[in-house]
Amino acid sequence: MRKAQIAALTAATLLVAGGYYGLADALDLVPGPVTAAAEDITPQPFPQVASPQATVSQPSPLPEDVPVPQAAALDLLVRALEEDEALEEASVSASVIDVVTGEEILDHRAGTALTPASSNKLLTAWAALSLLGPEHALETSTVLDGETLTLVGGGDVLLAADEGDPTATAGRAGLGDLARQTAEALRSQGVTGVSLRLDDTLFSGPTWNEAWEAGNEAWVSGVQPIMVDVSAYHGQGGYPSDPALHAAQTFADHLREAGVSVQGSITRAAAADSAATVASVSSAPLADVLSLSLRTSDNSMTEVQGHLVAAAAGESADFEGAARAVLAQLGQDGFDTAGVTLLDSSGLAKGNKVPARLLAQVVGRAAGDQGGEVGRSLLAALPVGALDGTLDDRFLDTAAAGTVRAKTGSLDQTVSLSGVVTTADGRLLAFAVVVDGFAEGGLTAARAALDEHLMVPLAGCGCQG
């Protein structure tokens, strides 16, 4: 019942906010792949085919005639946050932007670069969507050169171990399917046995980031361009020590089952230029993949996305290249990246330094008229307060339930939140708040302070003074 009420509240908010297309999709207000509604098993009439001339409606413009919160009122909220005893010795950076006008109406040390934690993922997501496109899919293929079959990793780390599911995001493409398609093609050429090679050269450099502290092995895998569904390990740890080789071994097992013998052990090398494509399978579109990685704050998936941005940009496909490529794409898209330090793509590295203003500007652009498909895809991927993802247990029974859509960030001494909120008056705001440097072990109290003093009042207020 609680989630149904939240869903209804969210729907009402979206009708006011207009451009909030992604969440309207989740509530079945507009066409789209996501739903939060209960399954309807009532028999339905046979569908009618739409005319080819039918047009798809566009998101309504954001309302401009509702009150804009006053800076002084917002400043009082953030100062109350700073004064909470849980944040003693912490630094707070906050920015609030009116989405309609693009004006920054709260600048509380907004240009100060602090450790962003997983809000960092917003930068990677924007760069990936902008450079690669929301519909970009990743191909995992096999190629043959003589009697050497090479499994080529193309960046899909959500591969099903056996059969793929064309309706799923994780497991859209399956290694078992690829093996069976490959075996059929090989048999048609009279090939019944091969030596197997793994080509994971799409990425370079170390698979582990030296900027990550010990203990993070439970929260991120080694970064490689082919894996069996890495999202299945999220929050549980136990990642394979060599995910790419694990995927190749899984493929080899299915190839044998399909009647093609694999001679010797699996070797690693780039596919020969003369090799001919045998078979391939494709991932879900990038927008769907981001919807999974951002909602769950999956570090492994985001690091892979950063490496893919680097490869597409012509940078070295490693951690340093990913940072350069993400910042370059943000700069090309008109964002000011001065003062930003990126050591990874996911936000695990404490050495990352990002101003709240940049995070708010990214979300503000996404939510505004200039956001386009990139912006709508980014917003649609963010968790909704009290409803799903990493916000499913926050803002319960408050004004922020269903009205806050944001990326969370959590490290042992950092908490952040970056997204959009619709005020009680109906004004759509983009915001980013980073709280960095509170006492060790104080994460839960710091997060509660952020919600209590800033986010819930912001959602519930008119903030007119």
3-state SS, 21-90, equals HHHHHHCCCCCCCCCCCCCCCCCCCCCCCCCCCCCCCCCCCCCCCCCCCCHHHHHHHHHHHHCCHHHCCC
Tokens standing for 341? 């330090």
Q: What is the pLDDT of residue 65?
A: 80
The number of C-alpha atoms within 13 Å of 352 and in the hemisphere containing its C-beta is 32
Q: How far apart are CA 186 and CA 266, in angstroms?
A: 18
All CATH 3.40.710.10 domain ranges in the chain, comma separated? 71-133+289-460
Q: What is the architecture, at CATH level 2, of domain 71-133+289-460?
A: 3-Layer(aba) Sandwich (3.40)
Q: Which CATH superfamily is domain 139-284 in?
A: D-Ala-D-Ala carboxypeptidase C, peptidase S13 (3.50.80.20)
Q: What is the pLDDT of residue 155?
A: 98
Q: What is the pLDDT of residue 21?
A: 40
Q: How far apart are CA 273 and CA 116, in angstroms?
A: 42
The number of C-alpha atoms within 13 Å of 168 and in the hemisphere containing its C-beta is 13
> Can you give the pTM of this predicted structure?
0.87
Contact between 226 and 154 under an 8 Å Cβ cutoff? The reply is yes
Contact between 126 and 119 under an 8 Å Cβ cutoff? The reply is no
User: At 144, which amino acid appears?
Assistant: L
Q: What is the pLDDT of residue 28?
A: 41
Q: How many CB atoms lie within 10 A of CB 216?
A: 16
Radius of gyration of the chain (CA): 23
Q: What is the pLDDT of residue 61?
A: 59
Per-residue pLDDT tens listing for the chain (465 residues): 444 444 443 443 433 344 444 434 443 434 444 444 444 434 444 344 333 333 333 445 566 788 999 999 999 999 999 999 999 999 999 999 999 999 999 999 999 999 999 999 999 999 999 999 999 999 999 999 999 999 999 999 999 999 999 999 999 999 999 999 999 999 999 999 999 999 999 999 999 999 999 889 999 999 999 999 999 999 999 999 999 999 999 999 999 999 999 999 999 999 999 999 999 999 999 999 999 999 999 999 999 999 999 999 999 999 999 999 999 999 999 999 999 999 999 999 999 999 999 999 999 999 999 999 999 999 999 999 999 999 999 999 999 999 999 999 999 999 999 999 999 999 999 999 999 999 999 999 999 999 999 999 999 988 876
Tokens standing for 406? 């944001």
User: At 444, which amino acid appears?
Assistant: T
Which pLDDT tens digit goes with each residue over 376-398?
Answer: 999 999 999 999 999 999 999 99
All CATH 3.50.80.20 domain ranges in the chain, comma separated? 139-284
Tokens standing for 1? 């019942």
Place of tokens 């919807």: 291
Contact between 47 and 437 under an 8 Å Cβ cutoff? The reply is no
Q: What is the pLDDT of residue 258?
A: 98
Alpha helices in 343-440 (DSSP H): 356-367, 372-380
